[in-house]
Structure 1
Amino acid sequence: MSEVEQVVAAARAAQRGWARTPAAERGAALAAAAARLRSAADELAAANNADTGRLIDEARGGVLAAAGTLDQYAELGPLHRGRVLHGAWSATDLMVPEPRGVVAAITPWNDPVAIACGLIGAALAVGNAVVHKPSERSPHVGELLTKLLADLFPEHVLQWLPGDGWVGEALASQPGVDVVAHVGSTATGREIARNSTAKLLLENGGNDPLLVDEGVDPAWAASQAALGAFTNAGQLCTSVERVFVHEAVAKPFLEALQVEAQEFVTGPLVDVRARDSVHGQVQEAVRAGASLVTGGTVLVATGSHYPNTVLSDCTPEMRVMREETFGPVAPVCVVDSFDHGLELACSGPYGLAATVLTRDMDHAQRAWRELPVGTVKINAVFGGAPGGAAQPRGASGTGFGYGPELLDEMTTMKVVHWEAAC
C-alpha cells in the first residue's frame, strides 16, 4: 500500500468517530486552532517568507485572516442545519446534512495559510476528515501549519501529505477520497477533473479585468489599479490582470499609474521560473506593439524579483491580456466608451472576479449584472463583508470555495421518512 493510500485509509477510519463528535465540540476544537494560529503568527509568517518570499507583514496578515476564518467555522458548524418536512401527521420527515467523508485539500503557495484554513475549517466543522496536500513551493509553511493544528483533533482527522504534483494527482484520484478541494492553476484543476470521481471544489486561474470609466479621479483609479496588480507581487488569484481605461482619463491615469508602480513595495516572485514566465509575457507584448511605461527588466542580481511593470497600447489579442500573468504587471488597453470596455471585460474563458471604477450608477448596475464572473467589485479592488461566498465560472473553477455555503459543499443531504410501526 502506498503512502497516499495509507494516509487516506487512516483518515477514513478516523472520520467515523469525528462525525459522531457533537458539533459544539468540533467547534471548540476549531476555536482552539484559531487561537494557536494567532500565537504562532510570527513563526508561520517567517516560514512563508522563507518558502515564497512573501513580505512578512503580508504573510502575517494571511495567518490572522486564517485564524478569523477558523473562528467563523467554529461558530457556523454547530449552526449548520437541515429541514423538517411537512408530511403525514403520523410520520416524521427530515432532510439531514451529513459529512461527505474524507476531504483532500490541495492548496497553493501564494496564500498558503489563509486558503488552507478556509478549506480545512469548513471540512472539519461538519465532521469530515482532511488530508492536506500543500504546494511543493511552500512545503515548510504547509508542514508547520498542519502540525500546529493536528493534535487539537483526534488522531488522523487532520493529516499532512508532502510532495509534488504527482502526489496531488494520486491523492485526488484515490477511491477513498470523497471531496477534492483544489485551489491553484487551471491546468491542474482540469487534470483533477479528468482523473477524480470525487465531488470537486475548484478555484483555479483568473484573468480579472479592471474597467476604469470616464469621470473618475484618475489618480485614485491608478492607486486602485496598483493595489490590485502589485499586491503580493501580483501573485493572487484575484489580482488585476488586465486594465481597460476610458480614453477621456487614459493619459493622467497612465501617468499616475507609473508613479504608483515605482513607489509600490513588493517582494520577489516565488522563484526564478515564475519570474521568467512573467518576463516572457511582457517581452511578447512589447514585440506585438505594447509600450513599456515602467519596469519590464530583469536584473540577475535581484534573484526572482520582478519590477512592477506597466504596459500601455495593449490589445485584447495579446497573451498578457488573455492569460493569467501571475506577476506584478498592469497591461492597459484604452477604450473609447464604457460599452466597449465592458464588452472586452466580459470576454475570455475565465470567470473569477472583476472590478469596475465608475461614478455612473447605471454603468455600475449594468456591470455587476453583465460581467460573467463570481465576484464583482464596484469602486474597490479588494474588500467585502464577512461570509460572502462566490462561485467561480468557466475556466476559473466550480463550487463555493468559502463562506457558509462551503459547509453545504462539504456535506451531503439525506432524506428520512419515519412512520410508527404497526
Structure 2
Amino acid sequence: MQTYHNTVRGKQTEANEHQEICNPATGITLGLAPINSELDVDLAVDAARQAQKAWASTSDQERREAVARVAQVLEENSGYLAGLITQEQGKPLSGPGSRFEMQACVGWTQVPSALELPPEVVYEDDKRKDVLYRFPLGVVAAIAPWNWPLMIAIWQIIPAIRMGNTVVLKPSEYTPIATLEMVRLISQVLPPGVLNTVSGDGRIGAALTSHPDIDKIMFTGSESTGRRIVEASSQNLAPITLELGGNDAAIIMPGTETSAIVEDLFWGAFLNAGQTCACIKRLYVHENDYDSVVAALSDFACQVPIGDGMDESNLIGPLQNTMQHNKVKELIADARANGCDVIEFGDIPETGYFLPLTLVGNIRDGHRLVDEEQFGPALPIIRYRSLDEAIGSANRLSAALGASVWANSLEEAELVASKLEAGTVWINQHGAIHPMVPFGGNKASGYGVEFGIEGLKAVTQPRVISIKK
C-alpha cells in the first residue's frame, strides 16, 4: 500500500501517523495519507515564512514565468492526477468530471500567469502625486475542500504565489492524496518553501488558521467551519477570503422553452452528483410549466449512467463520504415522509456511496430539502404563481452564493436577475465560472472574491506612496 507525503521546503516529509483513504465507489483503499501534529504546522509555516521575502523580491516577470511552468506541469500530469481524483473523490473521468477538473486547474493557472497588476496613479496635480502599489501579504493559509480538491486548491495557491506570497495548504482529510501529489509535482518548479502542505482534520486546520505567522486565510467549505475560522483569525488578525457554499435558487420564467435549457439545467443541478457549492439546489417553476419541466428533466436523467468513475461510460459518481451520503438520504426521507413526490432515476451499484438521481416535487419552502443545502443528487422543484413570489422565495435564505434565471427573453431575465441576492446571478446557465470573472458569495455564503484582477488584489496589501512635488 502506497504512503503519500506532505511537501515542506520542497522535500517530502515523514509523519508519525497515517490514515487510510478509500475509493468512495468501491471501498478499496487508495493509500495512506499523513496525519500531522501542531509541531508539523509550525515547521511548515516557518518554511513558508523563511522563503517569502526572497520570493517576493523576485521580479513580477519571474513569478509569472514560474506560474506558467506550474501550468505546464499540471498539463503534463493531468492524466495521472485525474485518475487519483476519481479514485479518491469519486467524480468520473468522463464528462464534467476529473479530467474536466484538471483542465480547470491548468486554465486557472495560465490566466493569473498572464495578468498584470501595475502601480496605479490614483491622484496627481501640480503639487502632489499619489501612487497605489500592491505588495504581497506574506504567508497564506489555504484550506481546500473535498468536492473539487485540486481545482479549488489551485484557486487558492496560484494567485497567492503569483503576487509574491508563500503558501501552506491543508487539503481536506477526506481527499488529501491527489492534492498532496499535485503539490509534490508543482513544487519541483518552484523555489523550496514557496508551497508547503500539512494534512489532518479540523484540529490541524485550526492550528494553521490561528497561527501567529499567518498573514492571510483562504477557505472554502461549510458555514460552521467558516465561523470557527473567523474566530481563530482573531489570534493573527489575518484577512480572510471565505467561500461558504450556498443553497442556489434557479427560477424558470413563465413560458420558457424547456427543450432549449434542459441539458444545462440538469448539469447545473447534478454536476459532481450535486456536490458543488454553486449548483442549483432549489428550482422554482411556474405552475403552468411545472409538468413539462419535470418531464423534460426526467427524460434527461434516465439517460445519464451512474457508477464507478473509472468506467468511462459513467457520468455520475458516488457521494464522497458516508457523512454526506447519510445526510442526503435523510433529507430525501424527510421529504418522502412529508408527502412530497420523490422520483428516482438510474441503476446504482450495490457497493459505494451511490444515490440515484432524484427529483422531488410537491414540495414547498420550509421543507428541509429546500431550506438546507443538500450537496447531493436530489433536486427539489417548487411551483410558483408569480415572479415576485419566486424572487421572494429565492431570497429568503441566508445562503447567497449563486442564483440563475432561465428565460426566452434576456431583457426580462436581466430584470429578474437584478432582484436576486447572490454573489453571481447567471442567465440561461448556472455555475458558469471563468478565471477572469470575480467570484464570491453574499450574506452567509462568505465574503471576498477570487479570480481575475480582483482575485489578485485579494492576496495583496495596498500601499500608497504620496509624493510632494
**TM-score where L is the length of structure 1:** 0.94
Quote the residue 1:249 is aligned against. Answer: 289
Q: Within 1, Cα distance between the matches of 2:104 and 2:350?
A: 34
CA contact (8 A) 1:104 1:171 kept: yes
Aligned AA (1:127): G
Contact 1:221 1:253 in 2 (8 A): no
2:63 aligned residue (26, 30, 40): 26
Aligned partner of 1:260 among 286, 300, 303:
300
Gaps of 5+ in 1: none
Report the residue type matching 1:69 in the other structure.
W
Q: What residue number does 2:169 align with?
A: 132
Q: Is the 8 A contact 2:91 2:272 kept in 1?
A: yes
- The alpha-carbon deviation at position 228 of structure 1 amounts to 1.5
TM-score when normalising by structure 2: 0.85
Provide the rounded CA distance (Å) in 1 between the counterparts of 2:187 and 2:199: 15
Superposition deviation, residue 135 in structure 1: 0.7
Counterpart residue type for residue 307 of structure 1: P
Give the Å deviation of 1:386. Answer: 4.5
Question: What is the total number of aligned residue pairs between the two structures?
Answer: 417
8 Å CA contact 2:86, 2:92 repeated in 1: yes
Q: 2:378 aligns with which of 329, 350, 353?
A: 329
The answer as to whether partners of 1:182 and 1:203 remain within 8 angstroms in 2 is yes
Query: Cα deviation per residue 1:47-82 (whole Å; 9 max; x = unaligned)?
Result: 111111110131011111111111111111xx2122
Residue pair 1:119, 1:402 contacting (<8 A) in 2 also: no
Give me the whole-angstrom Cα distance separating, in 1, the residues matched to 2:177 and 2:128. Answer: 55
The aligned amino acid for 1:27 is R
| Worse overlay, 176-185 or 215-224 | 215-224
DSSP 3-state at the match of 2:54:
helix
The change in CA–CA distance for 1:300 and 1:33 in structure 2 (over 3 A counts) is closer
**What SS class does the counterpart of residue 209 from structure 1 fall into?**
strand
Q: Contact conserved, 1:219 with 1:252, CA < 8 A, in 2?
A: no
Which structure shows the higher helix fraction? Answer: 1
The residue number in structure 2 matching 1:69 is 108
> In structure 1, what residue type is equivalent to 2:351?
T
Tell me if 1:60 matches 2:99.
yes
Measure the CA separation in 2 of the matches of 1:270 and 1:156.
31
- Determine whether 1:286 maps to 2:336: yes
The reply to whether residue 38 of structure 1 matches residue 93 of structure 2 is no
**After the TM superposition, which residues 54-203 of structure 1 pair with which residues of structure 2 at under 5 Å, given as runs?**
54-57=91-94, 58-76=97-115, 79-86=116-123, 89=126, 93-196=130-233, 197-203=237-243
Q: What is the CA RMSD across the aligned residues, in angstroms?
A: 1.9
For the Cα contact (< 8 Å) 1:296–1:309, is it kept in 2? no
Conserved 8 A contact 1:132-1:146:
no
Distance between the aligned counterparts of 2:103 and 2:87, measured in 1? 18
C-alpha distance in 1, partners of 2:178/2:39? 24
The Cα of 1:418 is off from its aligned counterpart by 4.2
SS across alignment from 2:462 = strand
Task: Give 1:338 deviation, angstroms.
Answer: 2.1
Task: Give me the whole-angstrom Cα distance separating, in 2, the residues matched to 1:73 and 1:218.
Answer: 37
For the pair 1:405 / 2:454, whether they are aligned, the reply is: yes
Structure 1 residues 85 and 308: alpha-carbon distance in aligned structure 2, compared to 1, 3 A threshold: closer
Structure 2: distance between partners of 1:106 and 1:162: 10
More deviation, 323-332/361-370: 361-370
**Aligned equivalents of 2:93 and 2:345: distance in 1?**
24
Q: Give 1:264 deviation, angstroms.
A: 2.2
SS at match of 2:241: strand
Query: Matched residues in 2 for 1:210 and 1:153: separation?
Result: 42
Does the Cα contact within 8 Å between 1:357 and 1:379 map onto a contact in 2? yes
> What is the aligned partner in structure 2 of residue 232 from structure 1?
272
User: How many Å separate the matches in 2 of 1:254 and 1:97?
Assistant: 51
CA 1:85–1:314: 2 relative to 1, 3 Å? closer
Tell me if the contact between 1:7 and 1:131 (Cα under 8 Å) persists in the aligned partners: yes
Structure 2: gaps (5+ residues) = 1-37, 306-315
SS of corresponding position for 1:390? coil
| Maintained 8 Å contact 2:215/2:238 | yes
Q: How big is the shift at 1:255?
A: 1.5
Secondary structure class of the residue paired with 1:241: strand
Q: Secondary structure at the match of 2:52?
A: helix
Distance (whole Å) between structure 2 residues aligned to residue 169 and residue 191 of structure 1: 8
Is contact 2:251-2:283 (8 Å) kept? yes
Is it true that 1:5 corresponds to 2:45 in the alignment? no
Letter in 1 for 2:336: V
Residues 418 and 317 of structure 1: CA distance in aligned 2, closer, same or farther (over 3 Å): same
CA deviation string 1:149-169 (max 9, x = no partner):
112111111001111111111
Deviations 1:187-237 (A, max 9, x none): 111110111121010011200011112211233444333211211100111
Inter-partner Cα distance in structure 2 for 1:378 and 1:237: 18
The 1:85/1:355 distance shift into structure 2, 3 A limit, reads closer
Partner of 1:243, secondary structure, is strand
